[in-house]
Every structure is written in C-alpha cells, then in structure tokens.
Amino acid sequence: MIKAILTDIEGTTSSISFVKDVLFPYARKRLPAFVETHADDPVVQHWLHEAAKEAGLVSATREEIIDLLISWIDADRKSTALKALQGMIWEAGYLDGEYRAHVYPDVPARLRAWRDAGTRLYVYSSGSIAAQKLLFAHTEAGDLTPLFSGYFDTETGAKRDARSYRRIADALGVPPGEILFLSDVTEELDAARAAGMQTTLLARSPGRCPDGTPHRCVADFDAVAFDAAR
C-alpha cells in the first residue's frame, strides 16, 4: 500500500529541455550581474562561501567565484550552492513573466487525482527547494504547489545514495515500502529501491524502457499503477 509519492522533476514531471534550454541559459547570462549587485546580501554571501568551500578555495576573488559557478553551470554540476543561487535568479524570470515552467500534459490531472485520493505528494530534485517551488508555482498549467506536501533537495543527500531516501522516509514518518518514487534515472531508482521504496521508471520517449530493469517502466503518469493506502 502506498501512502506517499515522491517524484523527480526533470524528465519525470517536466521536460529536460526546459531546464537545459531555458533555465540554465537564463541563469548563466545573468549570474555575473546578480553576484555583483547582491554581494552584500547575507544569503548570497553564504552560498558564495559554500561554493568556494566546495571547490577547495581558501580565498578567491568575486570574479573567480563567478567563473567557477559558470563552469559548474556548463558542466551541470549538482552543487547545492549553485542550485540555490540559480533559484534566486530564476525567481526574477518567473515573476517578470520571461517564461512558464513546462509540465507534461498528463501530470497536473494525475497529481490532483492522487492527492484527492489521499496520497501525499512530495518532490525530490537536485534543484533547490526554492527553485522547485518556483517551477511548480509558475507552470503552463497554473500553480501546482497546493498539491504537494513537501520538497527535498540535495541538502538531504545525493540522489543516487540510498541513505538520502532513508532520510526522506524518516522525515515523512512513512515506512520506505509505503513510498513510491518516480524518476527517469535508473541509478536514482536503484538507490530508492535499495532503501526499501517502491519505484517506477518514467520513459517519456518511446522505446526507452531498458531491458532487464527491476523497476516498473511506464511512458507517463497515467500508466503509473499502485495500491493506495486508505
């Protein structure tokens, strides 16, 4: 019986191209000016310091930190500090109407159906919690944030580490076996399965279900099947 669903974002609820082709370039272009104009902001200072510490830089100029962060964007580095700073930049873009977040057509209705049936919904993404909330608050289908009970990011731990999923289960107060994790990344699902969670692989492109996978594989949210706890 499933009491909670934990979902990834990129490739699962939303297209990878929206993040890669819209959000990443937007943040990359605006990051230098953002750092320069917000350098006195304590929150920005904190994350710049965390980025320097992550890179092993004892002392670095503002320009060196900017160059470091841009190189991390180009490499799609899963850095909590970078994700936090990107989220702050993306907020301005959402609020200015520069873009709306993509969600697959099947996602909003299915999320509502699960929530209305009593299943609690959570998000676990490498993007910061603030960025996750912004994305779901400004989708092409409207504000979806009321559907979710909580969010998790890499401050909980790496997405390919089983310990992260155990921490999430502990935080939810739900046995791992009563949580269903949805993702398009097999290694993430492997980690969740190792932690005891139920898993389903989203293969949005036809023919992407790999042979021999231990995870149930479906093409969209409408095909996700489970027994909901009552």
* pLDDT tens per residue, range 111-120: 999 999 999 9
pLDDT at 94 over 90: yes
Share of the chain above pLDDT 90, in %: 84
| 146/112 Cα distance (integer angstroms) | 10
CB atoms inside a 10 Å sphere around CB 9: 24
Tokens at 159, concatenated: 């997405």
- The residue ranges of every structural domain in the chain are 4-15+101-223, 18-95
Q: Given this structure, which CATH class describes domain 18-95?
A: mainly alpha
* pLDDT tier at 106, thresholds 50, 70, 90: very high
* pLDDT tier at 39, thresholds 50, 70, 90: confident
For the residues 7-12, what does the mean pLDDT come to? 97
For the residues 70-82, what does the mean pLDDT come to? 92
For the residues 13-34, what does the mean pLDDT come to? 94
pLDDT at 210 over 90: no
At 230 the pLDDT is 64
* pLDDT tens per residue, range 212-226: 899 999 999 999 999
Secondary structure string (H, E, C) spanning the chain: CECEEEECCECCCECHHHHHHHHHHHHHHHHHHHHHHCCCCHHHHHHHHHHHHHHCCCCCCHHHHHHHHHHHHHHCCCCHHHHHHHHHHHHHHHHCCCCCECCCCCHHHHHHHHHHCCCEEEEECCCCHHHHHHHHHCECCECCHHHCCEEECCCCCCCCCHHHHHHHHHHHCCCHHHEEEEECCHHHHHHHHHCCCEEEEECCCCCCCCCCCCCEEECCHHHCCCCECC
At 128 the pLDDT is 87
At 59 the pLDDT is 83
For the residues 193-203, what does the mean pLDDT come to? 97
- pTM assigned to the model: 0.87
Return the CATH number of the domain spanning residue range 4-15+101-223.
3.40.50.1000
Domain 4-15+101-223 shares a fold with domain 18-95: no
